[in-house]
Amino acid sequence: MNKGGFAWIGYGFIITMLPLLIIGLVGRHFFKLNYYTLMGLLAGSTTDPPALAYANATAGNDAPAVGYATVYPLTMFLRVLTAQLMILFFY
């Protein structure tokens, strides 16, 4: 029986949660971003279009979309890079 599946689930959890926590904490505490921009940043850091749609509907302005567009490309790049590094070092 292969027990490696649980490790990969854990790696996926880290890849998903780490950008979310970093963006949320840095954005709120260091840059004092408003709630709507922060909602967009969090949606972008999880690469979650339905979360962006909810944020846009809640805000009624473009602040979430601007936040989403700011962080989305970097998050996608870091996810691909992190996955490749995990395969390289842990497989």
Determine what percent of the chain falls in helix, strand and coil, rounding each to the nearest 5. 85, 0, 15
Q: Which amino acid type is present at position 53?
A: A
For residue 26, the model assigns a pLDDT of: 87
For residue 41, the model assigns a pLDDT of: 87
Q: Is the pTM of this model over 0.85?
A: no
For residue 46, the model assigns a pLDDT of: 82
Interval 43-88: pLDDT, tens: 988 888 999 999 999 999 999 999 999 889 988 998 899 889 988 9
Interval 6-39: pLDDT, tens: 888 998 899 888 878 887 888 899 999 999 999 9
For residue 1, the model assigns a pLDDT of: 54
Question: Angle at the Cα of 56 (from 54 to 58), degrees rounded to 5?
Answer: 65
Only one residue has tokens 């840059």, namely 31
Query: Per DSSP, which regions of the chain are E strands?
Result: none
